[in-house]
Chains A and B, each alone.
Chain A
């Protein structure tokens, strides 16, 4: 068996002495400490990595100072090194790795901290809430107007300045799901969004564990690599991003068809789940062609079609044609440029000041070539889970609008894939992203 197809090692036997795992316990303790420090410091209030928000977690603060760049980046460094140690043990040295029970406890402690802490890094969750309040309370279509239409609503104060005129770019299913929460008040909706993100995380980790075991991998190792990932925990769950709900539906679809016996009903549900994921955030749709192409079973197509038809009808009835055209929002966002995107970094490398319109077209061309190659490989029998992961990684690497939580999309697919190159590539891209955050630590401006 080639190194590329070597599975994750089986879990260490239960009789294993715990003395050999001391390093793993130290690493786990460092991760808990770094996470606790970040969220405790963030609860002091608005700073560079903490958006302005209602003080839902103000009662936690009081032990340390504010979350400055230094505190955040040094904690992230410790977290990343400890995560690398735990992942290396889980992948290569199972006798030193955390036991499945310890992995579960570590996850419970970490996500309890995330649940109790404030929203980190991004204002996106306040945009979600603003769109929900626009539709549910103010009767304004969030696909036609930006949050500025409700400037008199308290939530408007917390929406990111760059997004106040932007109609929602999220799928109609997500927008509709958020409407009932709008009636819980702003604090209640923030807690709801956090619970949705953490519930989705529980679902992703459960599905990842199950799929890994069904494929002969170590489920605990797979769950650890996803759930303890610093970008997942701090940027994804910390910001209560809806990407996690999309990823839950994606991994749910994978879990349905990775089973010893797959009925037509499971195939159809898997197809429907992927389309539902795309109706949360359109990116999940990238997985569907690979599943269909690889499995070539009609129920998955029919399930996907049925969900798409229902989605279009409901979206059109509630939001009008703009709620159906999820690709228009995707096209709008793909024209944005973020300083963390690899396209911007490449432009700087070759001496250009930034990304130009022609570069967007070139990058789309590169993405089309990569996707076409993956489609061809999948048709020829390449593992569709890996192909889906490569596709999501290619989307995040070629986008000019890269945000930290976009490089989470392929992670759960990578840990259950038989092509180990994918996991290495995803972790490398994440590492490179983290490295890019460190200039304020090297030379603080303020």
Chain B
């Protein structure tokens, strides 16, 4: 066998496997620096997002109180949806059963809530009802009321 052929793989020597990475301290340092920067970025991102979610959770707690206060219902486990009226605002929609029963098992009363927390409540700008076991889609909403933003999405 020619000396220019790798004995293990049978490939030409220049194509054959290499046992050791040609260690370059400079490359190793650059790689490590990039990894450390990426790691710090991931850590900062996660802590920022956890903190952001904590602030959102505070808002959602106020939403639940606002919904109960506004509807006069004490339904267990009303559901909160964010982003129903856009992703760049703090408008939330809270829907809960009108009558006792498992979640979504009866007609649901929804309240569209926005604005800052004032004495533990936020501002209700409108609302609508949804049939049992149905997704919150415009075509399924009925008995809409409130500001145009809400009523114009209501098809019934």
Contacts and interface: CB of A to CB of B under 8 A. Distances in A.
B87 A381 contact: no
A80 to B, nearest CB: 14
A296 interface: yes
A2 B28 contact: yes
A383 B21 CA distance: 7
Contact of A440 (B35, B57, B83): B57
Interface residues of A, number: 37
Nearest to B10: A298
A354 B42 contact: no
Interface stretch (B12-20, B124-132, B139-147): B12-20
A17 interface: no
B11 interface: yes
A318 interface: no
B20 A381 contact: yes
A438 B52 CA distance: 12
Contacts of A348: 45, 48-49, 52
Given A353-B87, A443-B57, A446-B77, A296 B21 contact: no
Contacts of A435: 46-47, 50
Contacts of A439: 50, 53-54, 56-57
A296 B53 CA distance: 49
Contact of A446 (B32, B43, B64): B64
A421 B10 CA distance: 33
A446 B47 CA distance: 22
B17 A295 contact: yes
B44 interface: yes
Q: Which of A345, A381, A383, A397 has the most CB of B within 10 A?
A: A345
Contacts of A294: 17
A380 interface: yes
Given A297-B8, A380-B21, A383-B21, A436 B57 contact: no
> Chain A's interface: helix, strand, loop or mixed, by majority?
helix
Contacts of B18: 380-381
Interface in B95-129: none
Nearest to A3: B32
Contact of A346 (B6, B35, B45): B45
A429 B42 contact: yes
A443 B61 contact: yes
Across chains A and B, which 9 residue pairs bring their CB atoms closest together, nearest first? A381-B18, A439-B53, A353-B87, A443-B57, A345-B45, A381-B21, A345-B49, A432-B46, A296-B9
Given A298-B10, A382-B21, A436-B49, 20 more contacts: A4-B28, A296-B6, A296-B11, A296-B16, A345-B46, A345-B49, A346-B41, A348-B48, A349-B49, A377-B21, A381-B21, A425-B39, A429-B42, A432-B42, A435-B46, A436-B46, A439-B50, A442-B50, A443-B57, A443-B61
20 contacts: A296-B17, A345-B49, A346-B45, A349-B44, A349-B45, A353-B87, A353-B88, A380-B18, A381-B18, A381-B19, A381-B21, A381-B22, A421-B32, A425-B35, A432-B42, A432-B43, A432-B46, A436-B46, A436-B49, A443-B58
